[in-house]
Structure 1
Amino acid sequence: MTALDATILETRALLVLSGEDRAHFLQGLVTNDVTRVTDDRAAFAALLSPQGKLLFDLMLAAHGETLLIEADADRLEDLRRRLSRFKLRAKIALAPAEGWSVAALWGEGASNALELPAEPGAARTLDDGVAFIDPRFAEAGARLFLPADRAGALLDGLGARLVEPTAYDRHRLTLGLPEGARDMDIDKRTALDCGLDDLNGVDFEKGCYMGQELTARTKYRGLLKRRLMPVAVEGPIPEPGTPLLTPAGKDAGEMRSGLALDAGHGLGMAVVRLEALSAGEPLRCACGEARLTPRRPDWMAPTEAAGAD
């Protein structure tokens, strides 16, 4: 039986949104339908700029009379400030969730250990926290929002082996899951460039939200030219932002995050031009000797390249 692994995600942290207008307030701002976030259902979403560029990827879960919002830990105050600008007369309060940890749980039997159906977003209370199957897709495992002083004990009680955060990075990169600013090239890419529509992160029926016009236009007019996707790396891991080239020397995209597996191989995420992807050839770095082979994960819908830039 595959081991059940867990780790505390120090790169992720929580805001707590309280007040009677909390769902209505957030509904007009993020890409997914917040009204569907209940005690037994969590969601994946994003906050976009008015121009439709991705600013934050978010996990949303209900906790009593509040909503917990997961985002990049080092950008949490920026998220709080941005959301607070839209408070106006809304009866809400928004603050960092002190004393909480964000954890990931994955491996065979993760849903059984949590007594949850293996359905994306299925949620329940766990001790004084919340546990839910990853809303992006069930094979990713689960997320847990736990009291920080008991997080390790609670994970151990689930039968999980506590591992280093790099083990989770290997897990998510193997699945092709982007996470946070290290992958998503903040304020430069759209939600669809980053695959959020294929990961249950965009509701095209929910009504208006910030950045909706560009998101819908990109979807229905087939305007994608580049796509964030996993890559297998031969050679040293390129630095984030390293330009990628086709064998003929044409622009093919750029590197995002990466993880070395051994001296000569690794995994990563890269923004890849769809024209270069369709050619089916390995890419090379503009500097360095690494070769990158993009691979389309099972969850990613086929996408044809739009016209040239």
Structure 2
Amino acid sequence: MALLRFRSHIRRLFLTGIRINQARFFSQQAGSRLDDAGPLACRLASRSVIRFRGPDTVKFLQGLLTCDVRPLADIASLDGEPNSSSSSPSSYFPISIAPFQSPPPRYAALLTPQGRFLYDLFLYRPPCPHQKLNWTGTAPGTHETEEALSLLADVDASFLDEILGCFRKYKLRSKVDIENVSEELSCWQRFGGKLSESEPIQEPEASSVGWGGAMDHSSMSSAHGNGSGWQWFKDPRLECLGFRGIFPANIVSPLVEADMVDDEQHYLLWRIERGVPEGSAEIPKGEAIPLEYNLHGLNAISFDKGCYVGQELVARTHHRGVIRKRLLPLIFTDDREIELNQEVSPGSEVVDRGTNKKVGMVNIAVGSRGMGLLKLEEALLKKQVSLSIKERTSVRVKTSVPDWWPAEWTAQLHEQQCGSLS
């Protein structure tokens, strides 16, 4: 016991030192240096975890959310489910002890009936008990014959009660339980420059840490008793965002001790620089049109899944093919192009510096970076336009096209530019 306490003390000192060094690093740098500071990992205090469980889980969510939820359940036919002729658990468990491969998580949005954004969420399929090894790694876990499908979702913590109330309002007679499990589970993100290099990134070796994989005894303290199956996943939105996962709330997630356990503010900055919004504050609840906030480019929207709440506006906007405003990453500078820190607040109007005509609005600002919903014609197409903050012409606003934008979006910009010149 004394040895364990000593190791715990050393680990706390190690993590504290990392946080101090990171704070010094970022305070000494002008602008963002996150591309050179990775990989980093942080617990997302801005997100909470809820659980959907019951025989109608997939049907219930399929009719509400913008993404196709069915792939999270389809794996049941391929994942070693026992068949009716099997009488022993070992008859359906794979002969080789290989890690259970959970289906990739899904990113989705819940909309109003009028097609406006309400909430975003990440859906995960945790493995069932029979898909996991016991804690020794030598035999299958327990099996319940009538086990109901369970899905976990990480959601905006600021609107947790509203989100639970909204889903329960739609529940009606559906056989699905919706519960807050934030005290048991938390969401983590791994990100940083070394996770977004040009070569395709691979999942960390997380499958070997927990249930269903080769046993890593150095990780037994964190893997023992895990009910969710340790696993990091590629962020379902973009490869450059790194990895995401849900883990028990009382520990540091696996495979991050060699990384830098960091403050969530740096993950926020990482997203802002890439023009990726998250949550109902950055994507205004009840107001935002999903396609203007690029949710289709972030894999949140399926256009062939069938009906869901708010589908009509999304489909009409998509098939019309003309989106005149989009969320863009912003940089705030002075006239000498020196970045200005803490000079702009969310809600500030972005205007044409010459005519004072409104071009858009700043949604979020951190230091010298931000994101804003701007008219594409003025923000990107008219080269002679100079943008600034309304009534503060000394604060210039620079916009850019994120690297991850699909090629067809760029082509549409060129078409609009040609049309405006003709």
**TM-score scaled by structure 1?**
0.88
Paired AA for residue 219 in structure 1: H
Gaps of 5+ in 1: 118-123, 261-265
Counterpart for residue 279 of structure 1: 382
For 1:202-235, what per-residue CA distance to the aligned partner results, in whole angstroms no more than 9, with x for missing partners? 1000000011000010011134221111111113
Which of 348, 356, 362 is residue 242 of structure 1 equivalent to? 348
- 1:237/1:93 CA distance change after superposition, 3 Å: farther
Counterpart for residue 68 of structure 2: 33
Q: How many residues align?
A: 294
Computing the radius of gyration from Cα coordinates, the structure with the larger value is: 2
Paired AA for residue 119 in structure 2: F
For 1:55-113, what per-residue CA distance to the aligned partner results, in whole angstroms no more than 9, with x for missing partners? 11211111233111111101011011111111111110001113211111013258556
Question: Counterpart of 2:155 in 1: which secondary structure?
Answer: strand
1:252–1:276 contact (8 Å) kept in structure 2: yes
1:243–1:253 contact (8 Å) kept in structure 2: yes
Name whichever of 230-239 and 139-148 sits farther off: 230-239
CA distance in 2: counterparts of 1:109 and 1:272, whole angstroms: 30
Does residue 1:258 correspond to 2:258, yes or no? no
Question: Counterpart of 1:241 in 2: which secondary structure?
Answer: coil
Gaps of 5+ in 2: 1-35, 74-101, 128-148, 214-221, 334-339
For residues 49-64 of structure 1, the aligned pairs below 5 Å read 49-64=112-127
Question: Counterpart of 2:286 in 1: which secondary structure?
Answer: coil
CA distance in 2: counterparts of 1:109 and 1:257, whole angstroms: 25
CA distance in 2: counterparts of 1:246 and 1:134, whole angstroms: 36
Superposition deviation, residue 21 in structure 1: 0.7
2:350–2:362 contact (8 Å) kept in structure 1: yes
2:206–2:254 contact (8 Å) kept in structure 1: no
Counterpart for residue 75 of structure 1: 159
- 1:153/1:102 CA distance change after superposition, 3 Å: closer
Does residue 1:227 correspond to 2:326, yes or no? yes
2:49–2:154 contact (8 Å) kept in structure 1: yes
- 1:221/1:34 CA distance change after superposition, 3 Å: same
1:183–1:270 contact (8 Å) kept in structure 2: no
Paired AA for residue 188 in structure 2: A
- 1:203/1:3 CA distance change after superposition, 3 Å: same
1:256–1:271 contact (8 Å) kept in structure 2: yes
1:230–1:267 contact (8 Å) kept in structure 2: yes
1:242–1:287 contact (8 Å) kept in structure 2: no
CA distance in 1: counterparts of 2:234 and 2:273, whole angstroms: 18
2:206–2:255 contact (8 Å) kept in structure 1: no
2:71–2:103 contact (8 Å) kept in structure 1: no
Superposition deviation, residue 198 in structure 1: 0.8
Counterpart for residue 189 of structure 2: 104
Which of 278, 298, 305 is residue 403 of structure 2 equivalent to? 298
Which of 248, 254, 257 is residue 154 of structure 1 equivalent to? 254
Does residue 1:191 correspond to 2:275, yes or no? no
CA distance in 2: counterparts of 1:23 and 1:140, whole angstroms: 27
Counterpart for residue 205 of structure 2: 115
Superposition deviation, residue 142 in structure 1: 0.7
Superposition deviation, residue 179 in structure 1: 1.2
Which is helix-richer, 1 or 2?
A: 2
Counterpart for residue 6 of structure 1: 41
**TM-score scaled by structure 2?**
0.65
Superposition deviation, residue 131 in structure 1: 2.2
- Percent identity over the alignment is 30
Paired AA for residue 160 in structure 1: D
CA distance in 2: counterparts of 1:270 and 1:20, whole angstroms: 41
CA distance in 1: counterparts of 2:297 and 2:38, whole angstroms: 28
Name whichever of 23-32 and 176-185 sits farther off: 176-185
For 1:218-270, what per-residue CA distance to the aligned partner results, in whole angstroms no more than 9, with x for missing partners? 0111342211111111134421111110122111010011111xxxxx11110
Which is strand-richer, 1 or 2?
A: 1
Counterpart for residue 263 of structure 1: none
Does residue 1:43 correspond to 2:116, yes or no? no
CA distance in 2: counterparts of 1:237 and 1:34, whole angstroms: 42
Moved over 6 A (4+): none
CA distance in 1: counterparts of 2:203 and 2:70, whole angstroms: 27
For 1:129-160, what per-residue CA distance to the aligned partner results, in whole angstroms no more than 9, with x for missing partners? 4421101111110111110112x252534x22
